[in-house]
Amino acid sequence: MQIEKLASLFELLEGWEDRYRQIIDLGKKLEPLDEEHKTAANKVHGCTSQVWLICRQEEDGRLHFVADSDAHIVRGLIAIVLMIFSDRQPEEIIGLDPLPWFARLGLDQHLSPMRSNGLHAMVGRIKALAAAARG
């Protein structure tokens, strides 16, 4: 699902119970992250749950991210972050501001401060990986 489609779907959902269910469902559809990648080096610091993130650069320069968490809601939030950032060029990733998407989805108002901090930690890690890939 693309981020635009998700935003349109969220606008149709009645309340936050339905949106939370949708977020959890998104997490169930995440690309699997092999256990061998769940290491301290791949851990995203600043998240209360365990979150691991890896990046691979495709031949055309785009960055593809794969991530996982030990928490269902966080897996769904990861899916949303990856919809925004994955499979783009490093320069594009660095310049992307996810805050308008978070606001449109209502994440800015309905996440606990701890989850919000974790979301921003993931974005920071993705942008750092993009900057490193850019060279």
Q: Which residues are catalytic?
A: 47
pLDDT at position 97, please?
Answer: 94
**Are the C-beta atoms of 131 and 92 separated by less than 8 Å?**
no
pLDDT at position 91, please?
Answer: 97
Residue 68: strand pairing partners: 52
Q: How far apart are CA 51 and CA 78, in angstroms?
A: 9
pLDDT at position 1, please?
Answer: 59
Domain count, the chain: 1
Q: In this structure, what CATH number is given to the domain that contains residue 58?
A: 3.90.1010.10
> Which domain, by its residues, includes 92?
3-134
pLDDT at position 85, please?
Answer: 97
Distances (CA, A) of 114 to 11, 22, 39, 46: 25, 20, 22, 9
Given the structure tokens 């996810």, which residue do they identify?
98
Q: pLDDT 10s digit of each residue in the chain, 135 long? A: 599 999 998 888 888 899 999 999 999 999 999 999 999 999 999 878 999 999 999 999 999 999 999 999 999 999 999 999 999 999 999 999 999 999 999 888 888 878 888 899 999 999 999 999 987
